[in-house]
Structure 1
Amino acid sequence: MLGPSELVLNADNSIYHLNLLPEDIANTIITVGDPDRVVSVSDHFDTIELKKGKREFITHTGTLNGKRISVVSTGIGTDNIDIVLNELDALVNIDFETRSIKDDITTLDIVRIGTSGAIQADIPVDSFLMSQYAIGFDNLLHFYESEHIQHPEVQLAFIDHTNWSIYKSIPYVVSYNGSLAERLLSEDLRLGFTGTNVGFYGPQGRKLRLDTDDSELNAKLASFKYRDLQITNLEMETSAIYGLSKLMGHRAVSLNCILANRSNGEFSKDPKKAVNKLIGLTLDKLTAH
């Protein structure tokens, strides 16, 4: 039995941060970082049965072409992903009345629709990328028993290539779910190796008033190669989504709308249009019969 300080519920028996009851979510879930993007997704639905929110976590559940889908905003960062993924899993795999783990485990399909910046010159702004692998520069996965889902040979090669500081977390590499990826692949998506950062400015090599500890970091990231793997883009959630999903037995894929190209300094002239196009493509694939 899970105690009150482990499985934290609200007065109405909903899960603490997401403010959701088990019946509120579908088995297919789209995650978006920006709470305002939830509406951009659910506007495509044929019907909307639920709208709930608490803090930055907004959820809409509805149907499109007969398929039930939930869209959940996570906010930015792997710390938020830790909350969202654990609470989504609890909603389907823990009995809130008995506070016990269910015997039959439910597998969720989790699709991130997010924005990202490319670090390779040949990746155009407004293009779309599916993260085949992600390398996490945060330390979230190291708090879980997770060595069996990591790729240590890539991690060690990366540490050597970048002369990674011992004062930073050890990078970890995780992969997408291949079966869910097959459902979403199209000629509009290229496969990539995504870097998940712990911040938007210094951790991604941006300088405003503060100097970074390694002015060549982005160049090192862009030049790293391991066999056919080359880091393509930077964002702030994918590695945690992949890592926690694998550990819990869920299927996850991260789709990135490339709004910036860091290598040539370009930024999208119409980011909303580009993101909405990716949303439409994703929903078409998820609801195809």
Structure 2
Amino acid sequence: MTDDATAADELDSEDPNDETQYHLDVGPDDVAETVLLPGNPERLPKITGGWDASEVVAEHREYRTATGTYEGTPISVTSTGIGSPSAAIAVEELARVGADTFIRVGSCGAIREEASVGDLVITRGAVRQEGTSDEYVREDYPAVADHAVVAALVAAAERLGYDYHVGLTCSTDSFYAGQGRPGFEGFEARGSDELIEELRAANVLNFEMEASTILTLANLYGLRAGAVCTVYANRVTGEFRTEGERKAAKTASLATHLLAKMDDRVTESGAAEWHAGLGLD
């Protein structure tokens, strides 16, 4: 066997099937164009419970995928596990089977007083304080949400009557040191005591662990992405409650339906992309 053949075999060994994805175990007919991305696989039934109908189509490792409809609009959900490395795998493999829009759905910690526990944070852009996206592109490349996805999430939150905030998110690789929390036996990482104040001064709203990688990959690949998270903790006031868990899921599901309408408007008008003048209904 030649060296070239050996190299080819090594590449193929991680993806022995041309269609079914290695980590997610999904194929081209398994997912809709828009996929919601929670971290915890146990959140799937809480998300799909608000849909017209759904079916689990794949389960492998931390990745559980279900597909169905919401108000007649095709929609899927895939859990990513915790953190950017596994979220990047999800985006990569979902894109390979036809998904083109990704909405991170989860929980977060707010670092501004006005973002109360139970409120939503809709991400406009993200601080890339994680290492995964650095392996794709230079560190000064921006992690920016798609404007139509942001508009759809805002419209959905308004229609559902939820309190929400739109702004900048900081995505980290560490729940503890990376978000200014003490580690085991009170360990404090270098600069952790200044981290929250520095980000607050820069008008950052919240911490979470996946959004910046999802946004970065979507932009690199010419896809769409956004993020909506329910505030579980306010790091300034000291509040913590697992309240409003389904708010982000309901908002993202309705936003998917609105995005489908927005896409129809673009097609009908011949515009290059959606803008506010086209409306939502």
Is the 8 Å Cα contact of residues 113 and 278 (structure 1) preserved in structure 2? Answer: yes
Matched, 1:32 2:38: yes
The AA in structure 2 aligned to 1:71 is V
Q: Does 1:242 align with 2:219?
A: no
Measured against aligned partners, the alpha-carbon deviations of 1:223-273 in whole angstroms (never above 9, x if no partner) come to 433xxxx111101001000000100111000101111001121112xx2x5
Contact 1:119–1:218 (Cα < 8 Å) also in 2: no
Count residues in correspondence.
244
Q: Tell me the CA shift for residue 5 of structure 1.
A: 4.2
Q: Tell me, yes or no, if structure 1 residue 256 matches structure 2 residue 262.
A: no
Alignment correspondent of 1:190: 165
Residue correspondence of structure 1 range 52-201 to structure 2 within 5 A: 52-92=58-98, 108-144=100-136, 146-147=137-138, 152=140, 173-186=142-155, 187=158, 188-201=163-176
The structure where helix makes up a greater share of residues is 2
Q: Which residue of 2 aligns with 1:166?
A: none
201, 217, 232: which one pairs with 1:224? 201
Quote how far apart the aligned CAs of 1:6 are: 4.1
Structure-2 separation of matches of 1:178 and 1:4: 42
Q: Secondary structure at the match of 1:29?
A: strand
After superposition, the Cα gap between the structure-2 partners of 1:67 and 1:265, relative to the gap in structure 1 and judged at 3 Å, is same
Q: TM-score, normalised by structure 2?
A: 0.80
Change (3 A) 1:90 1:220: same
Conserved in 1, the CA contact under 8 Å of 2:178 and 2:192?
Answer: no
Question: What is the SS of the residue equivalent to 2:244?
Answer: helix
Counterparts in 2 of 1:83 and 1:5: CA distance versus 1, 3 Å:
farther
Deviation, structure 1 residue 10: 4.9
Deviation at 1:185, TM superposition (A): 1.0
* Larger deviation, residues 212-221 vs 256-265: 212-221
Aligned AA (1:252): A
TM-score relative to the length of structure 1: 0.78
Runs of 4+ in 1 over 6 A off after TM superposition: none
Distance of 2:213 and 2:18 partners within structure 1: 29
The alpha-carbon distance between structure 1 residues 285 and 81, as it changes in their structure 2 partners (threshold 3 A), is closer
Cα deviation 1:115-145 (Å, max 9, x = unaligned): 100111221111001111101112222222x
Offset from partner CA, 1:161-219 (integer Å, 9 cap, x none): xxxxxxxxxxx641110022112213433212110111111111111412222242333
Q: Percent identity?
A: 28
Structure 2: where are the runs of 5+ without partners?
1-6, 262-281
The match for 1:212 is 189
Q: Do structure 1's residue 278 and structure 2's residue 248 form an aligned pair?
A: yes
Decide whether the 8 Å contact of 1:26 with 1:70 is kept in 2: yes
**8 Å Cα contact 2:41-2:80 kept in structure 1:** yes
Tell me by how many angstroms 1:13 deviates. 4.7
What letter matches 1:280 in structure 2?
A: K
CA 1:12–1:249 in structure 2 vs 1: closer, same or farther (change >3 Å)?
closer
Contact 2:105 2:249 (8 Å CA) reproduced? yes
